[in-house]
Amino acid sequence: MKRKRLAACIVIASLFAAEGVFDAGGLVYATETGFLKSASGNAAEDAALSEEASSMEDMAFDGVLYEAAAPEEEELISNEALSGVSTASGVTEEMCKASYWNDRNRASGIGINERLITKEETARLNEEMLKEPKTFMHDLVNMDESYDADKLRESLVTGTVPQKKTLFVDQEEMNPEDYYKGIADAIAATAYTGSGKNQYAVAVKRTTIRTIPVDSYIGYSAGDTDDEKTNSALLVNEPFLIRQKATVSGKDYYWGYSDNCTGWVDALDLAVCRDKEEWLDAWRTDVSGDDFIVVTANQIRLEPSLSRPELSEIKLTFATILKTVSDNDIPASIAERAPWNNYVVYLPLRDENGRYKKGVALISQHYEVSTGFLEMTQAELLRVAFNNLGDRYGWGGMLDSMDCSYYTRNVYRCFGLNLPRNTTWQPAMPGRKIDLSDPALTEEAKLSMIRRMPAGTLLYFSGHTMIYIGSDNKSGQETGYVISDTGSLADSPEGSAVRTMYSVVLNPLTVKRRNGNTWLKELTSAVLPISESRMEFVSKNVKGEGGLEPVSGNRVEAAEGQTYASSEDTLPLETFLQNTGNMYISFCNADDPDVDKLTATVVKGSRVTTKAVVSAVRLDKKAASYRINKTNGLATVTLNKSCTVSFDMADGKSYDVCFTVETPKAQNAAVKELLKEASSDTIALNVKQLFGTRIDGGTLAIVSQKGNTAFVEENVLILKPKEKNTIKLSYKYLNKKYTMTITVK
């Protein structure tokens, strides 16, 4: 399956005190004197918007009105040669692959492939965020059917005021008062009146939600690279609730609600449904369902069609969700093509009257899409997040791109989670925030906290959000790394100037802001969109409360005395006298619905005995053998090859356990190649790379070394591949011990 994402924004707030307007990430609300003072006509909502507007004052990016400037040509951000790819200092080519970070998140105490939250819990968290006022999200499905169109029209007219004293429309300087008055007059003359009824629509193309109903490019300077009217964006098939209309310069626009903001949308980009039922059928999905696909690639394009131009070469961007056609309803031919090796989906179309109609379209099998939402694990979050690496930044979603918060929103949308719109609203997620704002926290203390959080954690400082991907040791110095859709930064070396990035980039937290502080120092909070039990575990881990075992996710919870041979296992084993020949298996909690498959890893020749009475055992006799004790009814299985063993218990339950059987062995040749190919100052080698085994529950240690260039941290050997050394290693698992010698020339 493939993935990519829509650009999430640097949500930068600008306070226009003279006009009483805040602009945060393209989201414009008013103080008591300005824009959208009462856009909804609902007193409670208006009060909330006013409160939020005042809370966004701290979002001004680096204390200045952010207008993108041309990059300083003399200040190039680069690193070691990366096959022609320029990166931040401290970023190597291998770091630009999501899989590199899989072994660099062990301090979180959560396995890289363990589920962070179930889909049922995801649905509940979505509901909680809708109910939380500070997220400013809209429950589109349950909004009032009727409203006062006259009151809303008046609010939109009075709220359409200049946002700055200088204004450039399509790069031509205009008088702001005259320009905005013309728009306000058009709204007053053409908007709905009387008692209004909701209209329900979906987007037929990737489009933007605007603060004013125009297509023109709005800038505050001649070279402004942000289209300042852009509020947010709608993906293909995303819902929009319409409450007003305006005709400006002969073109129609609708004003209404998406789930995360309000604004104007080009009428030609929306298809209006006959009723609410048709609207819900077009887009609504069950988080646990599989009757839809999610675009997890950065973008895909439908194939050309001669007979159906409305289906030809349609662009679908990251995180787009489309319903799939059931097997019984798939036509024999679709746009002159047979459907083999294609996903068959419903595509929203617009008829000549602007009404919604269903089209059936094909998405080539090679594109990266997910059937249903992805299971949220650290590995999957990293993989999806990296699908947009290098893509351009787009303020509020302009240019079919993303800004920082839109990027994070779309990453998590692929997992069925609907995040709030911007960097002040996302941290309002109920019960998922860890405070990093204490001025007494040193950078070292912050990093110690962050590295104990799982990959995918959202990190924030005023005006920006990023995704934590892991920590790495460079020249003996532990450093945290993030990926984000970034507006500007200064590279880590002293004297580096702040420059415009406007891309999804990977960088260490040692890069700097305009005020000269590192990103690490500026961090104010971390948000973890994970289950409550995981959050409890992480909170304790961050506080350094040691001895913690990962909480049950897609693993059976380990009882006292039990352990996991591999961090990828789901079933713990208990050992007697720490011996591989005396291991016990308990099926306590194995019936938890969160546990997909029972897996356990053992050393070849291990003997595993049940702790409950069995009636029968079924297995491949070429891979394993078993006996049932006639006295106590317990079964012992001796494992020599990987296989599945079925245990029929005396209480009527049955369990299938997939055993992985391994013989750890020093991987000298493979390690030699890794050292030879290493391009960075340090290299990290895990147990699997060193001894060829997934069994990482043992203890890796350095027995001796000739040079002081290597150390072990959390069962990972970190060494300098360019400095001579001879390192003798041992790896002990229960009563088994394995050794190897690494020679660095």
Q: Each residue of 684-738: pLDDT tens digit?
A: 899 999 999 999 999 999 999 998 889 988 888 999 998 999 999 999 999 999 9
Q: Which residue has the higher pLDDT, 681 or 297?
A: 297
Residue whose pair of structure tokens reads 């995801």 in the numeric block: 122
Quick check: 734 and 579 in contact, CB under 8 A?
Answer: yes
Mean pLDDT of 191-195: 97
Q: Tell me the C-alpha distance between 171 and 123, whole Å.
A: 45
Would you state the pLDDT for residue 723? 92
pLDDT given at position 474: 66
The pLDDT, as a whole number, for residue 70 is 39
User: 58: pLDDT confidence band, cut at 50, 70 and 90?
Assistant: very low
Is it the case that residue 633 has pLDDT exceeding 50? yes
Shared fold status for 562-662 and 668-744? yes
> Three-state secondary structure along 66-123?
CCCCCCCCCCCCCCCCECCECCCCCCCCHHHCHHHHHHCCHHHCCCCCCEEECHHHHH
Neighbouring-strand partners of residue 703? none
**CA 567 – CA 555 distance, rounded (Å):** 10
Residue 482 contacts residue 467 (beta carbons within 8 Å):
yes
The number of beta carbons lying within 10 Å of the beta carbon of residue 192 is 19
- Decide: 635 and 610 in contact? Cβ < 8 Å: yes
The answer regarding whether domain 668-744 maps to CATH 2.60.40 reads yes
- Residue 48's pLDDT band, with cuts at 50, 70 and 90, is very low
Per-domain residue ranges for the chain?
A: 378-542, 562-662, 668-744
User: CB of 527 within 8 A of CB of 538?
Assistant: no
pLDDT at 83: 61
pLDDT attached to residue 39 = 39
CATH topology of domain 378-542: endopeptidase fold (from Nostoc punctiforme) (3.90.1720)
Q: pTM here?
A: 0.70
Residue 61 has pLDDT above 70, yes or no: no
Return the CATH architecture of domain 562-662: Sandwich (2.60)
